[in-house]
């Protein structure tokens, strides 16, 4: 018990931090990704990286202040994530989700904090909008003036 408590209080070395983040990102394939990033207004509350697979229709994160980082190789995505995932404890809160179209093809990956929920909505042309919210907040789904005919 005391050892477990000490291990959570003592930060791991840089190599262990790197290994932990690399382990979380293991499901992310090699390649280039059209990369967008969104941060909640308080850095500790969450982030979303939308990694569009090259050659697939692009998506958009439906939030203000989204930054387009351009097309990044996998290693550059990992480097971009480092400020958001500074240690092993932060890496334990990272989730990687594939986004699949109706045919089941992966069109993008979402790297996010576990407290951030995402929901993609696809248009007929294959483009998609990624709706984002923090756990406990209502999800905006577009579609009109407030009736119950929303989009899920």
Work out the pLDDT band at 151, boundaries 50, 70, 90: very low
Distance CA 131, CA 149 (A): 17
- Would you state the structure tokens that stand for residue 59, as one six-digit string? 């998506």
Q: Which domain holds residue 72?
A: 26-134
In a domain, 89, yes or no: yes
DSSP class of 11: P
143 domain residue, yes or no = no
Asked whether residue 107 is domain-assigned, the answer is yes
Question: Are 110 and 68 contacting, i.e. CB atoms less than 8 angstroms apart?
Answer: no
In the chain, pLDDT over 90 holds for what percent of residues? 50
How many other C-beta atoms are found inside a 10 Å radius of the C-beta of residue 22? Answer: 12
Q: What residues contact residue 70 under an 8 Å CB cut-off, 6+ apart? A: 34, 35
91 in a structural domain: yes
Residue 94 domain-assigned? yes
Query: What's the predicted TM-score (pTM) here?
Result: 0.75
DSSP 58-118: -EEEESTT-EEEEEEEHHHHHHHHTTT--SHHHHTTEEEEEEE-TTS-EEEEEEEETTEEE
In a domain, 13, yes or no: no
CA distance 72 to 78: 10
* Mean predicted confidence (pLDDT) in 124-150: 67
pLDDT tens-digit series, residues 7-65:
333 344 444 445 677 788 888 999 999 999 998 876 556 899 999 999 998 899 998 88
Could you tell me if residue 113 is inside a domain? yes
Cα-to-chain-centroid distance, residue 129: 14
How many Å apart are CA 99 and CA 137, to the nearest integer? 22
């Amino acid at each position: 018990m005391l050892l477990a408590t000490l291990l959570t209080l003592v930060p791991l070395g840089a190599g262990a931090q790197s290994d932990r983040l690399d382990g979380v990102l293991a499901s992310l394939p090699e390649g280039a990704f059209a990369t967008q990033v969104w941060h909640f207004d308080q850095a500790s509350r969450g982030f979303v990286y939308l990694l569009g697979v090259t050659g697939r229709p692009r998506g958009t994160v439906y939030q203000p202040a989204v930054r387009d980082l351009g097309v990044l190789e996998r290693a550059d995505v990992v480097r971009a994530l480092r400020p958001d995932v500074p240690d092993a404890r932060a890496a334990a809160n990272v989730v990687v989700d594939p986004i699949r179209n109706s045919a089941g093809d992966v069109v993008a990956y979402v790297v996010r904090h576990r407290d951030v929920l995402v929901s993609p909505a696809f248009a007929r042309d294959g483009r998609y909008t990624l709706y984002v919210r923090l756990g406990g907040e209502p999800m905006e789904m577009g579609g009109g003036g407030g009736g119950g005919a929303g989009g899920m």
